[in-house]
Amino acid sequence: MKILLLGSGELGKEFTISAQRIGQIVIAVDSYENAPAMQVAHDFEIINMLDGDALDSIVAKHQPDFIVPEIEAIRTERFYDYEKQGITVVPSAKAANFTMNRKAIRDLASKELGLKTAKYRYATTAEELQKGVKAVGMPCVVKPLMSSSGKGQSTIKTEADIEKAWNYAVEGSRGDVVEVIVEAFVKFNSEITLLTVVQNNNPTLFCAPIGHRQERGDYQESWQPALISDKDLYEAQDMAEKVTEALGGAGLFGVEFFLTDDGVYFSELSPRPHDTGMVTLAGTQNFNEFELHLRAILSLPIFEITLEKAGASAVILATENATNPTYSGIEKIAALPKTDFRIFGKPTSRPYRRMGVALVNDSLKTPIEEVVEKAKKAANLVTVNS
């Protein structure tokens, strides 16, 4: 099968490697040369994926069987046409289109499906934001409707933060929509990603929940399994099943939840492998999240997902702007037991850009905090040099 991969970062690179291993053809697309997945794909294209005409032309040129979005910033409205042409958009045109914009997915989850979410409002001006803040209460979180990895996101604690938050969100917004969501701050005890695998001819399966810690809206460490009560887990699984069913199609979804004293809150979801799910590269499961996504897409049956080990991932971040950065400390991380790592091979670095990840596994009997600590220490051994 021929797969057109839209987005070629670290997640796409691992997906491409999984696809190559079972003989699939991958064309990797992104906005810059030598993106991680391009380094391992059969062919590549460099376009602005928000440009619908540019998308049309590469779809016409390559005639793929599958279109696999890897990022959100794509002119996803065109996906409905591609589906009509007989191409399978993964997981579905609706899933990719709805999750590109926080408004579409939030209204679907909260209004249509009745899932519990933080109280929220939308705003198209600083004045509207003021009203929204009043409605949801402080503290609250402001995010552009179109952004990811925490870009343009900030927390309002006092009246004086509102204008700053508006300006920051507008600057961090991508796409052509100038609108934000303001959400009540959820005082969560922890947050999880529930990797949910929707299959074409077989039941939906769940991976063991993944815990994670975020800074600046971006994940720092993730671990599997996360500590969660059975009641919360069933509630999260039920919500994940409802929202993935409403979006349609087959594939792996990363469904994000907050765990609070007052139950589980739905936050958002990725209709594709999730960054926090890179912990599965540590060998925690019988199949990692990329293999699961691929199998679900190709309608290859997944009989079960088994948790084999406890694991943790910790990110390796850049500190400076550089071209073709180099890495030191690789021999140190390589010397550690039960530890592995990935360097994504991004051609440039900038402060806080994720350049690699440390991966640690251990017995399921080991306290998960210890596994996370080991992953953090391992990640700290590697430095990105300019």
Ligand X SMILES: NCC(=O)N[C@@H]1O[C@H](COP(=O)([O-])[O-])[C@@H](O)[C@H]1O
Ligand Y SMILES: Nc1ncnc2c1ncn2[C@@H]1O[C@H](COP(=O)(O)OP(=O)(O)OP(=O)(O)O)[C@@H](O)[C@H]1O
Which residues are designated catalytic?
148, 150, 256, 268, 275-276, 354
User: Cis bond leading into 347, ω under 30°?
Assistant: no
Is the Cβ–Cβ distance between 325 and 343 less than 8 Å? no
Between 212 and 353, name the residue whose CB sits nearer to ligand X: 353
Strands (E), 207-282: 210-215, 218-224, 251-260, 263-270
Residue 186 contact partner, candidates ligand X, ligand Y, none, CB within 5 to 8 A by sort of partner: ligand Y
Q: Read off the amino acid at residue 91.
A: P
Q: How far is the CB of 354 from ligand X (least distance, A)?
A: 6
Residues that bind ligand X (CB under 6 A): 7, 9-12, 70-71, 148-149, 275, 346, 353-354
Q: How far is the CB of 353 from ligand X (least distance, A)?
A: 5
Residues that bind ligand Y (CB under 6 A): 118, 141, 143, 147-150, 153, 183, 185-186, 191, 214, 217-218, 256, 267-268
Between 149 and 204, name the residue whose CB sits nearer to ligand X: 149
Between 62 and 174, name the residue whose CB sits nearer to ligand Y: 174
Give the pair of three-digit tokens for residue 226. Answer: 């996360």
Residue 268 contact partner, candidates ligand X, ligand Y, none, CB within 5 to 8 A by sort of partner: ligand Y
- Strands, sheet with 154-156, edge to edge from the N-terminal-most edge strand: 120-123, 180-184, 140-144, 154-156
Q: How far is the CB of 279 from ligand Y (least distance, A)?
A: 15
> Residue of minimal CB distance from ligand Y?
148
Residue 12 contact partner, candidates ligand X, ligand Y, none, CB within 5 to 8 A by sort of partner: ligand X
Residues 71, 24: Cα–Cα separation, whole Å: 21
Q: How far is the CB of 69 from ligand X (least distance, A)?
A: 10
- H-type alpha helices, the chain: 10-21, 52-62, 79-84, 93-100, 102-107, 126-136, 161-172, 230-247, 289-297, 330-334, 368-380
> Residue of minimal CB distance from ligand X?
9
Nearest to 20 by CA among 46, 39, 47, 34: 39
